[in-house]
Amino acid sequence: MSKPKIVVLGAGYAGMMTTKRLMQKLGPDKAEIVLVNKHNYHYQTTWLHEVAAGTRNQNQARMMISDVINPNRVSLIYDEVTEVKKEENRVVLKNSEVSYDYLVISLGFETNTFGIKGMEKNAFSITDIESSRMIREHIEYQFAKYSTSVKKNENDLTILVGGGGFTGIEFVGELAEQVPKLCKKYDIDRSKARIINVEAAPRILPGFNDDLVAYAKKSLEDRGVEIREGAKISECKKNSFVIGDDGEEIKAGTIVWTGGVTGNSILGKSGFEITKGKVTVESDLRAPGEENIFIIGDCAWVMNKEEGRPFPPTAQAAMQHADTCATNLKGLILNEQLESFTFDDKGTVASLGKSDAMGTVFSERLLYGTPATAMKKVIDNRYLFLLGGPKLILKKGKLRML
Ligand code: FAD
């Protein structure tokens, strides 16, 4: 009898960890494993704000997939998924196609601009290595242009960030460190460059404890970040946001939207039932009505039954989905009982640049400043350890703890 073929779509946190776990749980005689990804490299999405700000080299935030997944054990296909033909157990790729017995969809997120006029066209967004690199280069170009132009436009030196959630705040935290360096490099007076974060909700970092939010605000404002809360963006023009009821216009040389994400649009194209851009999966992480398709990571809503709403989409959750998904694939293949996903909340730490952070760890313990910065690095390095052991930490890890 031929071996069952498991195809994993997307090599992000969820896809990489699922593949890794499958290699550990199923011997080569038990299943064929295929991993499909757009690029031949894997990147840590949670580090992209650093690449976008220019505080981390893009090559440190990515690694060749074949360096951590043995290509002799897993067939690696570098191609773009365009559609899943679930009735035919087949995935259509840009340049070929692949059939499957079991499928894992872990294609991550796409930007959601909530239909704000002009946002998609005029703002950058932090979605992958390329888009982050473009932001870094654009910001640097604005500073270089300002320093060499005869007729100087100070708006070129303003960086406008839409969205005061996790990504937006981590990004302005990095900018607070990078902008003074750029000013120094291009002989620009620091007071001329502005970093402005615009959030529609009454306060930044929704979902975070009030004390942590106050700490983050002070840390950022002390380093020159302007925070505009309760400021709804009605339009994004080529070089400005229009905000509030009075239509105030804030001009900038760089505009970045971080205010929303949704699941990969391949889901809808492939005929899955979508709720707010994602598929609400069963407790065993399979798509409703599908015996052989798992949907995990940012493509899935996984319900927190106690609270009657989905768990927030995070890398931490994506990695835990991967464990349950791999266990259940083994269960299906070896006729074992499937398990339900349970989320083990280890806390959340947000960086505010390289030297400051805040968040919660175990049982809602609040962390600020140096201990939070160290904890953030432990979290980042832990992922590398799970993926590639100590060797990968030495190669790609954040080794300077403070
Ligand atoms: P991803 O990690 O995004 O991976 C998706 C993969 O699919 C990518 O490799 C992509 O190239 C590939 N892909 C996409 N489309 C296709 C296609 N059509 N064909 C082939 N391949 C495709 N979460 C935390 O827990 N802690 C944090 O500190 C944190 N910080 C963040 C900071 C930033 C700047 C951002 C943007 C997010 C952050 N998050 C954080 C959220 C976290 O990154 C996501 O929840 C996590 O990446 C989801 O994992 P995933 O595997 O579903 O998707």
Would residue 51 count as lying in a domain? no
Examine the residue annotation and report whether 50 is marked as an active-site residue of this protein: no
Answer with the one of 344, 360, 387 that is the final residue of a domain: 344
Q: For the segment 166-185, what is each residue's pLDDT rounded down to a tens digit?
A: 999 999 999 999 999 999 99
Going by alpha carbons, the residue nearest to atom 46 of ligand 1 is 315
Residues 34 and 90 placed together within one structural domain of the fold: yes
Q: Which atom of ligand 1 is nearest to the CA of 266?
A: 18
CA 187 / ligand 1 centre spacing (Å): 37
- Predicted TM-score (pTM) of this structure: 0.96
Beta carbon of 316 within 6 Å of any ligand 1 atom: yes
Total domains present in the chain: 2
Q: Which domain holds residue 94?
A: 5-38+79-111+261-344
Q: What is the 3-state secondary structure (H, E, C) of the chain?
A: CCCCEEEEECCCHHHHHHHHHHHHHCCCCCCEEEEEECCCEEECHHHHHHHHHCCCCHHHHEEEHHHHCCCCCEEEEECCEEEEEHHHCEEEECCCEEECCEEEECCCEEECCCCCECHHHHCEECCCHHHHHHHHHHHHHHHHHHHHCCCCCHHHHEEEEECCCHHHHHHHHHHHHHHHHHHHHCCCCHHHCEEEEECCCCCCCCCCCHHHHHHHHHHHHHCCEEEECCCCEEEEECCEEEECCCCEEEECCEEEECCCEEECCHHHHCCCCCECCEEECCCCCECCCCCCEEECHHHEECEECCCCEECCCCHHHHHHHHHHHHHHHHHHHCCCCCCCCCCCCCEEEEECCCCCEEEEECCCEEEEHHHHHHHHHHHHHHHHHHHHHHHHHHHHCCCCCC
Residues 122 and 205 placed together within one structural domain of the fold: yes
Please report, for the domain that includes residue 381, its CATH number.
3.50.50.100
CA 108 / ligand 1 centre spacing (Å): 5
CA 12 / ligand 1 centre spacing (Å): 6
Q: For the segment 283-315, what is each residue's pLDDT rounded down to a tens digit?
A: 999 999 999 999 999 999 999 988 899 999 999
Would residue 201 count as lying in a domain? yes
Going by alpha carbons, the residue nearest to atom 18 of ligand 1 is 81
Would residue 61 count as lying in a domain? no
- Looking at residue 362, its pLDDT comes to 79
Residues 359 and 211 placed together within one structural domain of the fold: yes
Residues 127 and 168 placed together within one structural domain of the fold: yes
Residues 235 and 225 placed together within one structural domain of the fold: yes
**Ranges in the chain, pLDDT < 50:** none
Mutate-to-test residue for ligand 1 from 279, 314, 381, highest number of ligand atoms within 8 A of CB: 314
- Looking at residue 244, its pLDDT comes to 87
- The one catalytic residue in 32, 83, 87, 170 is 170
Residues 185 and 279 placed together within one structural domain of the fold: no
- Looking at residue 1, its pLDDT comes to 63
